[in-house]
Protein backbone atom coordinates (compact mmCIF):
# COMPACT_ATOMS: atom_id res chain seq x y z
CA UNK A 1 0.00 0.00 0.00
CA UNK A 2 1.48 3.29 -1.00
CA UNK A 3 0.45 6.66 0.34
CA UNK A 4 -0.16 7.95 -3.15
CA UNK A 5 -2.55 5.10 -3.90
CA UNK A 6 -4.73 5.47 -0.77
CA UNK A 7 -3.64 8.65 0.97
CA UNK A 8 -4.68 11.20 -1.63
CA UNK A 9 -8.15 9.73 -2.27
CA UNK A 10 -8.65 9.35 1.48
CA UNK A 11 -7.69 13.00 2.08
CA UNK A 12 -10.04 14.05 -0.72
CA UNK A 13 -12.90 12.00 0.76
CA UNK A 14 -12.29 13.47 4.24
CA UNK A 15 -12.24 16.99 2.84
CA UNK A 16 -15.43 16.40 0.87
CA UNK A 17 -17.17 14.83 3.89
CA UNK A 18 -16.13 17.62 6.26
CA UNK A 19 -17.22 20.31 3.79
CA UNK A 20 -20.61 18.63 3.48
CA UNK A 21 -21.00 18.45 7.25
CA UNK A 22 -20.18 22.09 7.82
CA UNK A 23 -21.63 23.62 4.67
CA UNK A 24 -25.17 23.63 6.03
CA UNK A 25 -24.00 25.67 9.03
CA UNK A 26 -23.15 28.48 6.65
CA UNK A 27 -26.37 28.42 4.62
CA UNK A 28 -28.18 31.72 4.74
CA UNK A 29 -30.47 33.60 2.42
CA UNK A 30 -32.76 36.59 2.61
CA UNK A 31 -36.13 36.39 0.88
CA UNK A 32 -38.34 39.33 -0.05
CA UNK A 33 -42.02 38.51 -0.33
CA UNK A 34 -43.67 41.32 -2.27
CA UNK A 35 -47.43 41.89 -1.83
CA UNK A 36 -49.54 39.78 -4.18
CA UNK A 37 -46.52 38.06 -5.76
CA UNK A 38 -45.55 34.37 -5.67
CA UNK A 39 -41.99 33.69 -4.55
CA UNK A 40 -40.47 30.24 -5.16
CA UNK A 41 -38.44 29.01 -2.18
CA UNK A 42 -36.25 25.98 -2.89
CA UNK A 43 -33.93 23.81 -0.83
CA UNK A 44 -30.94 23.79 -3.20
CA UNK A 45 -28.83 21.26 -1.29
CA UNK A 46 -28.82 17.47 -1.46
CA UNK A 47 -29.84 16.92 2.17
CA UNK A 48 -32.66 17.88 4.51
CA UNK A 49 -32.09 21.25 6.17
CA UNK A 50 -33.45 22.93 9.26
CA UNK A 51 -33.49 26.72 9.17
CA UNK A 52 -34.80 29.65 11.16
CA UNK A 53 -36.17 32.73 9.41
CA UNK A 54 -36.49 36.08 11.17
CA UNK A 55 -39.37 38.14 9.81
CA UNK A 56 -39.21 41.86 9.11
CA UNK A 57 -42.31 43.82 8.11
CA UNK A 58 -43.55 47.39 8.53
CA UNK A 59 -47.17 46.22 8.97
CA UNK A 60 -48.75 45.14 12.26
CA UNK A 61 -49.10 41.71 10.65
CA UNK A 62 -49.14 40.09 7.23
CA UNK A 63 -50.69 36.90 5.89
CA UNK A 64 -48.37 34.55 4.01
CA UNK A 65 -49.76 31.61 2.03
CA UNK A 66 -47.42 28.66 1.48
CA UNK A 67 -48.12 25.90 -1.05
CA UNK A 68 -45.79 22.86 -1.03
CA UNK A 69 -45.01 22.22 -4.69
CA UNK A 70 -42.34 19.54 -4.38
CA UNK A 71 -41.31 17.01 -1.70
CA UNK A 72 -42.16 17.76 1.94
CA UNK A 73 -41.18 19.71 5.03
CA UNK A 74 -42.44 21.41 8.18
CA UNK A 75 -43.25 25.00 9.06
CA UNK A 76 -43.27 25.71 12.80
CA UNK A 77 -43.72 21.99 13.38
CA UNK A 78 -46.68 21.66 10.98
CA UNK A 79 -45.99 18.84 8.48
CA UNK A 80 -46.53 19.66 4.82
CA UNK A 81 -46.39 17.33 1.85
CA UNK A 82 -46.65 18.02 -1.86
CA UNK A 83 -49.98 19.75 -2.59
CA UNK A 84 -50.58 20.95 0.99
CA UNK A 85 -51.04 24.63 1.78
CA UNK A 86 -51.05 26.70 4.95
CA UNK A 87 -51.58 30.34 5.88
CA UNK A 88 -49.43 32.07 8.46
CA UNK A 89 -49.94 35.43 10.11
CA UNK A 90 -46.49 36.94 10.64
CA UNK A 91 -45.41 39.96 12.66
CA UNK A 92 -42.19 41.93 12.77
CA UNK A 93 -39.59 39.97 14.75
CA UNK A 94 -41.32 36.58 14.43
CA UNK A 95 -39.08 33.58 13.82
CA UNK A 96 -40.27 30.76 11.58
CA UNK A 97 -38.73 27.31 12.05
CA UNK A 98 -38.57 25.38 8.79
CA UNK A 99 -37.48 21.85 7.88
CA UNK A 100 -37.18 21.10 4.15
CA UNK A 101 -36.39 17.84 2.37
CA UNK A 102 -33.65 17.88 -0.24
CA UNK A 103 -35.02 19.42 -3.41
CA UNK A 104 -38.19 20.70 -1.70
CA UNK A 105 -40.02 23.71 -3.13
CA UNK A 106 -42.71 25.89 -1.59
CA UNK A 107 -44.45 28.80 -3.29
CA UNK A 108 -45.06 31.69 -0.90
CA UNK A 109 -47.59 34.44 -1.61
CA UNK A 110 -47.65 37.57 0.54
CA UNK A 111 -51.28 38.58 1.01
CA UNK A 112 -50.31 41.56 3.17
CA UNK A 113 -49.92 45.24 2.31
CA UNK A 114 -46.13 45.59 2.50
CA UNK A 115 -43.04 43.62 1.56
CA UNK A 116 -42.12 40.96 4.11
CA UNK A 117 -38.44 40.08 4.48
CA UNK A 118 -37.32 36.74 5.88
CA UNK A 119 -33.65 36.40 6.83
CA UNK A 120 -33.05 32.66 6.97
CA UNK A 121 -30.06 30.69 8.24
CA UNK A 122 -29.18 27.26 9.55
- For every residue of 60-99, DSSP letters joined together read S-EEEEEEEEESEEEETTEEEETT-EEEEEE-TT-EEEEE
**pLDDT tens digits, residue range 79-114?**
999 999 999 999 999 999 999 999 999 999 999 999
| CA 57 – CA 50 distance, rounded (Å) | 23
pLDDT of residue 5: 54
Question: Cβ(21)–Cβ(13) under 8 Å?
Answer: no
Which domains occur in the chain, in start order? Answer: 28-121 (2.60.120.1030)
pLDDT < 50 positions in the chain: 3, 7, 9-24
pTM of the entire structure? 0.75
Torsion (CA) 31, 97, 51, 116 in degrees, nearest 10: 10
Q: What stretch of H or E contains 43? A: none
Amino acid sequence: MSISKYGIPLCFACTLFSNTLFADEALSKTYEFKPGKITHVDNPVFWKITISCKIKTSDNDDLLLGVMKKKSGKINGIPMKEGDSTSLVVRNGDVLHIVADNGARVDVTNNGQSTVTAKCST
